[in-house]
Amino acid sequence: MAMWVFGYGSLLWKPGFEVAERVIGRLPGYARSFCMRSIHHRGSVEHPGLVLALDPSTGTACDGMALRVAPGAEAQTLQYLRDRELISSAYVEKNLAVQLDDGRTVDALVYVIDPDHVQYCGGLPLEEQAQIIATAVGGMGPNTEYLYNTATHLSEIGLHDPSLEWLHARVKALCA
């Protein structure tokens, strides 16, 4: 059985594993937002950055990319993703139904936010998010790079996310 992973943030542009197939997909019941404080990859404990996570949200859906893992690489990919995504246990690993643009529905590995975790910060105003992203830096680089790469990749694959587009423009202006 094929292993699928749903990418909505950095997995879009830096999956880190061999991908056999990419299909635009939709995950119902979740919204993409900068609702997780990053204390490792894009910020520090002293100056947390923000990264995207999926927040449960009735009546919404997150558009992203379903990535089918190359056959034979499933176990290695799962370990890699757990090492990368579960670094601080703010994400919860789930298998959820993703509706693919080609009409298929697949069960995909998805990392969603734990709203009870100390790093959860849902509901921050966009301006506050922009101020944080503009200055935070972590072990994987500047928070701005994470935002810019994600917004650019979403645009390149034809996915529209008004909040991310606003943040992209605002952070560029703050950093100019």
Domain boundaries, the chain: 4-175
Average confidence score pLDDT of the chain: 96
Residue with tokens 């936010």, as numbered in its chain: 113
pLDDT tens digits for range 26-78: 999 999 999 999 998 999 999 999 999 999 999 999 999 999 999 999 999 99
Active site residue 93: no
Q: What's the pLDDT band for 1 if we cut at 50, 70, 90?
A: confident
Residue 88: the pLDDT is 84
Residue type, 77: T
User: Is residue 87 scored above 90 in pLDDT?
Assistant: no
pLDDT tens digits for range 118-144: 999 999 999 999 999 999 999 999 999
The CA-based angle 89-152-26, given to 5 degrees, is: 60
Mean pLDDT, rounded, for 142-170? 97
Which of 21, 85, 93, 127 does the annotation list as catalytic? 85
DSSP track, 37-69: EESSSS--SSS-EEEEEEEEEEEEEEEEEEEEE
List all residues 6 or more positions away from 1 whose beta carbon is below 8 Å from its beta carbon.
none
For residue 160, CA distances in Å to 4, 55, 65, 110, 112 come to 22, 18, 13, 20, 20
Kindly report the backbone phi and psi dihedral angles of residue 40, in degrees, each rounded to the nearest multiple of 5, phi listed first. Answer: -120, -70
List all residues 6 or more positions away from 31 whose beta carbon is below 8 Å from its beta carbon.
54, 55, 57, 60, 62
User: Is residue 89 scored above 90 in pLDDT?
Assistant: no
Domain 4-175 in this protein, CATH class = alpha beta
